[in-house]
Structure 1
Amino acid sequence: MAVGCLVTGHLPRIRKRTTPCATGTEDMTTQTTRPVESNAAEARTATFTAKATTPGRRTELSPTVTHVQSTVWQCNCITIRRPDHAVVIDSCWNSHDIEAVRDSIGGTTTTLLITHADIDHVCSVGFFPDAHVVMSPEGAARLADGSASRDLAVEGAKWGLDLRPNLRVDQVVGPDERFTVGDLHVSTVGARGHAFDGLGLFIEEEGLFAVGDYLMKSQHPMVWWSLTEARRSTERLLAAVGRFDPRWVVPGHGPILTPQEAIAVGEADLTYLEEVERVADEAHHAGVSPREWHLAVESVPVPRPCAPDIEMLSPRLLNVAATFRDRGVDGELTWTLNMA
């Protein structure tokens, strides 16, 4: 999840931001810049900061697997406890929840498995200075160039969170690999598209498949990088669900799913993504204006509504930006969308 409240100018260059803002549900095709009274903006910021510091929900999925879901964005963090080792998958956008996960593990040797390097997935790293951190080559690149740490520091401060932006990676694994973590075996699936990086992670002994920001029942697809790659990753992840036959499918946000539920969500997502690509191709070939392209793509019915704190990120507008980016088009718009 990477987020933003102000969208303006060049659509393919939307910057990932997490400024707390209103849950914009207005029609984005007609909304223009509007004045915002400072006291109202401050009140909304206080509301979102309070939400970000509210403890999430903890559920014991089995004697060895614990699920923590944060209040903001319904971020999913998984802990797997073995006799001499622990595994933590992804994180929560809440330092209280991360500390609770860390404290529940104690001094046990720990491995952090990261599906992708968006700020709400890597923010646990600084809380586990002795853990072994595993992510994809592209995720490691996002850490190496310093962008992930900078974003985490800036955006955490906006939400009133101390998220310790001391990011690192100790092991790089690519798609279609199988590696061990203690006595556990982990198989990977390529999942780039939603973000520049991405891995699905199947923990064989536990029957748990962490798929990153795909197959989410709490929202429709939201693409920060490449819609074409997001479609391909959705196809790969659906095939992997059939191949692995997991006990749990854990998306980055929203409810944990059965394999049957995940397949239903994924198939609906594929229908949407394929139609968006078809409409974008038609717009591109017809040479229509960026505004007409935008309106055509945004008119494609989404498979399900987004949760309010996801809708505030303008997910359909992000998907429009991804279709421009995939086709190498600089789609400059003539209006500003202000979600503050």
Structure 2
Amino acid sequence: MFKWKRGPVTLFQSALYMTNSLVVETLDCVLVTDPCWLPHEVEEIRHYVEDILNGRRLLLLFTHSDFDHIIGYGAFRDAEVIASRAFADKSAGEREEILEQIRVFDDSYYLRRAYGLAYPDVDHALEQEGQTLIFGDMLLTGYAAPGHTNDGLFTIVEELGLFIAGDYLSDVEFPYIYDSSLAYEATLGKLDQLMSRHPVTLLVPGHGEAADSREEVERRKQESLNYIHSMRRAVASGSQDGVDTLIAGCEFPRNMSKFHRSNQELIAKELAGDAGS
């Protein structure tokens, strides 16, 4: 699962959906993000962290509450958890629904985990836009990132120029919109200001390859916006061909088509004025 190490930043990528987990080191802290997917993959991350921790403070950051991103929480119950306020405020029913998705996944493949399943208990909730949390020499600045889900979080590791983007700005996925296309668009609209405020040198999305230039981040942003705008136009005009051509040539069409169809249905509801139904 180990993919690369660039100084204090180590990236682990799951065999499933090219899902990324990070381990970030400073003198005082070790930060783990979204440990996932398969039991042996989570264990690999855990063993790596145990080998390097050396008495430092252990932090665990969740970019959002999709079940694949919280699935490894139980292996890091000794960590201090960081997430958005919306993530922390999930109701008991919402939490149980997410945990049931993990159980269904594990049952489907006869997977056994060496740790119990639980929804993360948040120790440090990012409450305000641009709020900075300080953990010794590690400074984390967070920005709400709704659209994919309603509890997404953009996080900047200040001293490293690292932008942890969650399920946005992927080079392998078009926007997967579970919450709101308008919110998704607004989240992407924050990027110019965010990038001007912070000296970002490396962006890591939830799925796919990292980006190490502003030009690449801008390209991904424009591709995502173009997808959303084109989907709205095609749905509004009733052009199924227009909808279908939006993912012509995508790398994994047999799987991605269902997410594309879900986007179409959500945007159709938004245009009809009943997105909440």
TM-score by length of 2: 0.85
1:75/1:183 CA distance change after superposition, 3 Å: same
1:182/1:102 CA distance change after superposition, 3 Å: farther
Task: In structure 2, give the amino acid aligned to 1:244.
Answer: H
1:225 aligns with 2:179: yes
Per-residue CA deviations over 1:159-195 (Å, capped at 9, x if unaligned) read: 3334532222222113321111331111112211111
Task: In structure 2, give the amino acid aligned to 1:198.
Answer: G
Partner SS for 1:117: coil
* In structure 1, C-alpha distance between the alignment counterparts of 2:276 and 2:31, rounded to whole Å: 43
* In structure 2, C-alpha distance between the alignment counterparts of 1:307 and 1:153, rounded to whole Å: 25
1:213 aligns with 2:172: no
1:171 aligns with 2:124: yes
Partner SS for 2:89: helix
Task: In structure 1, give the amino acid aligned to 2:70.
Answer: V
For structure 1, the residue ranges without an aligned partner over 5 or more in a row are 1-55, 284-291, 333-340
1:303/1:226 CA distance change after superposition, 3 Å: farther
Shift of 1:304: 6.8
1:182/1:159 CA distance change after superposition, 3 Å: farther
User: CA RMSD of the aligned region, Å?
Assistant: 2.6
1:267 aligns with 2:222: yes
Q: Decide whether the 8 Å contact of 1:194 with 1:224 is kept in 2.
A: yes
Per-residue CA deviations over 1:38-61 (Å, capped at 9, x if unaligned) read: xxxxxxxxxxxxxxxxxx233111
Q: How does 1:141-180 map to 2 (within 5 A)?
A: 141-142=89-90, 144-145=92-93, 146=95, 147-162=97-112, 164-168=116-120, 169-174=122-127, 175-180=129-134
Shift of 1:330: 7.7
Partner SS for 1:91: coil
* In structure 2, C-alpha distance between the alignment counterparts of 1:300 and 1:331, rounded to whole Å: 27
* In structure 1, C-alpha distance between the alignment counterparts of 2:248 and 2:137, rounded to whole Å: 39
1:160/1:308 CA distance change after superposition, 3 Å: farther
Q: Decide whether the 8 Å contact of 2:266 with 2:275 is kept in 1.
A: no
Q: Share of identical aligned residues, percent?
A: 25
Bigger radius of gyration: 1
Task: In structure 2, give the amino acid aligned to 1:156.
Answer: D
Per-residue CA deviations over 1:271-315 (Å, capped at 9, x if unaligned) read: 2212223444x35xxxxxxxx47x26624624972446852x612
* In structure 2, C-alpha distance between the alignment counterparts of 1:143 and 1:132, rounded to whole Å: 21
Q: How does 1:1-340 map to 2 (within 5 A)?
A: 56-62=1-7, 64-106=8-50, 108=55, 109-142=57-90, 144-145=92-93, 146=95, 147-162=97-112, 164-168=116-120, 169-174=122-127, 175-258=129-212, 259-280=214-235, 282-283=236-237, 292=238, 295=240, 298-299=243-244, 301-302=246-247, 305-307=250-252, 310-311=255-256, 314-327=258-271, 328-329=273-274
Q: Decide whether the 8 Å contact of 2:28 with 2:138 is kept in 1.
A: no
* In structure 2, C-alpha distance between the alignment counterparts of 1:61 and 1:172, rounded to whole Å: 28
* In structure 2, C-alpha distance between the alignment counterparts of 1:141 and 1:268, rounded to whole Å: 32
TM-score by length of 1: 0.70
1:206/1:131 CA distance change after superposition, 3 Å: same
1:159/1:191 CA distance change after superposition, 3 Å: farther
Q: Decide whether the 8 Å contact of 1:272 with 1:300 is kept in 2.
A: no
Task: In structure 1, give the amino acid aligned to 2:44.
Answer: A
Task: In structure 2, give the amino acid aligned to 1:240.
Answer: L
1:91/1:303 CA distance change after superposition, 3 Å: farther
The number of equivalent residue pairs is 265
1:307/1:277 CA distance change after superposition, 3 Å: same
Shift of 1:208: 0.6
Shift of 1:67: 0.5
